[in-house]
Amino acid sequence: MTSPIRDLATLPKGHLHLHLEGAMRPATLEDLAAEQGMAVPPIRGFGSFAAFAGMYVAACAVLRGEAEFRRLVREVVEDAARDGVAWVEPALYTPRYRSLFGSDEATVELALDELATAGADLGVACGLIVAADRTVAPNEAVDLARVAASFAGRGVVGFGLANDEADWPPEPFAEAFAIAKDAGLLSAPHGGELAGPASVVGCLEACRADRVMHGVRAVEDADLVARLADSGVCLDVCPTSNVLLSVVDSLDDHPLPRLLDAGVRCSINADDPLLFGPGILEEYQLCRDRLGLDDTALAGVARASLEASGAPADVVAAGLAGVDAWLAAAPA
Ligand SMILES: [Zn+2]
């Protein structure tokens, strides 16, 4: 006899760690490649972060105009609706589109326009994180932070920092994050993924992080774990990504349960489902099935994902009420 369970698709959740192009559907990648007479870029079988990053960039090549870009954004919102996401805030590196759309501002406007349209159609509230690339000189990040700041209150909710952190620590990006924070944006750099606890400390101190994307290697330092728990900083955790990029040895060894037990706020996310496979709903399911998170723990994660998000207060309040209702209802 199987025990009754609650449907994770009806648990309202925020999706906080999702790279826009990395959320493309594999079928859309195939469609767009075929339309343009391109070979389908490979999306499986990377053995290193560098190989993964190369595949990511190659997949972006199918986005050759506004129609393709809008399709990508709309499908991200459709997938969010399917997975019970009440709020999604994908991250976007705009310099990739300068030659297509003319400027970083034009790219942000296009993303925000389609997020708003699709979100209204599908009942999903949406924001955007403008993300810098840590392997590019920090003055570009300063420029992007100014762009992000100019959209504060108009859909951009946070500022991020992505790509390979092993040789590119967060400290040189302090000025960019100061600009974003002064504009009221959330600071959400990547850290504690490919580099250890020191990079999480760098995110907290140099970037004044409100959230750390990944951050899971904080578990290697007990004092840092305690500091995170006291601070309320949220770790935007992506279990399958960590397995496939060898940040953890196996899913069963993932530190998420230990971080939660220590009182660290964590959200569950998909990162780049195009390359890693599972969407956010499947990640929640994996955390239930493989990491032993019960419904109370999963509801706590969903609450954190809403409270730590860039969502407006009314969206957060409605989502939290939905989480309470989900937990209060008897399992089916
Ligand atoms: Zn990421």
Under 8 Å CB-to-CB from 271, ≥6 apart: which residues?
17, 18, 19, 22, 238, 240, 241
- What is the side-by-side strand order in the sheet with 85-88? 13-15, 85-88, 125-126
SS3 256: helix
Q: 249: buried, middle or exposed (CB in 10 Å: 19+, 13-18, 0-12)?
A: exposed
Task: Give pLDDT tens digits for 150-209.
Answer: 999 999 999 999 999 989 999 999 999 999 999 999 999 999 999 999 999 999 999 999
Which protein residues have a CB closer than 5 Å to ligand 1 (ion)? 271
Residue pair 205/177 in contact (Cβ under 8 Å)? The answer is no
In angstroms, what is the span from residue 109 Cα to ligand 1's centroid? 22
Q: Which residue's entry shows tokens 């860039």?
A: 310
Give the whole-angstrom CA distance, residue 52 versus residue 14. 25
Cα 325 to ligand 1 centroid, rounded to whole Å: 31
Ligand 1 centre and the CA of 283: distance in Å?
Answer: 14
Nearest to 217 by CA among 171, 180, 181, 258: 258
Q: How many A from CA of 241 to the centre of ligand 1?
A: 8
3 state SS of 19: strand
Cβ-Cβ contacts under 8 Å for 98 (sequence gap 6 or more)? 104, 107
| Selected catalytic residue, list 89, 165, 193, 283 | 193
The predicted-structure confidence for 233-262, as pLDDT tens digits, reads as follows: 999 999 999 999 999 999 999 999 999 999
CA 190 to ligand 1 centroid distance, Å: 7
Q: Is the pLDDT of residue 1 over 60?
A: no
| Known active-site residue 205 | no
Q: How far is the CA of 18 from the centre of ligand 1 (A)?
A: 6
pLDDT > 70 fraction of the chain, expressed in percent and rounded? 99
Tokens for 20, please give them.
């826009």
**Confidence grade of residue 329 (pLDDT, cut at 50, 70, 90):** very high
Residue range 123-136: average pLDDT? Answer: 98
d(CA 42, ligand 1 centre) in Å? 19
State the pLDDT confidence band at 14, using cuts at 50, 70 and 90.
Answer: very high
Question: What is the DSSP annotation of 122-178?
Answer: HT-EE-EEEEEETTS-HHHHHHHHHHHHHTBTTTEEEEEEES--SS--SGGGHHHHH
pLDDT at position 168 is 96
Two structure tokens written together for 314 = 């009314």
pLDDT of residue 27: 97
How high is the pLDDT of residue 62?
95
- Report CA(181)–ligand 1 centroid distance (Å): 20
Nearest Cα to 151, choosing from 111, 208, 192, 101? 111
Confidence category of residue 5, pLDDT binned at 50, 70, 90 = confident
Kindly report the CATH class assigned to 8-328: alpha beta
Question: Residue 2 pLDDT more than 60?
Answer: no
36 has pLDDT over 60: yes
Among 120, 60, 142, which residue's Cα sits nearest to residue 96?
60
Q: Which residues fall within 8 angstroms of residue 202, CB to CB, at 6 or more apart?
A: 169, 170, 171, 191
Residue 47: which pLDDT band, with cuts at 50, 70 and 90?
confident
**Would you state the pLDDT for residue 44?**
87
pLDDT more than 90, % of the chain: 95
Biggest CA–CA distance in the chain, Å, is 60
Mean pLDDT of the residues in the chain? 96
Exposure on the CB side of residue 63, measured as CA atoms within 13 A: 26
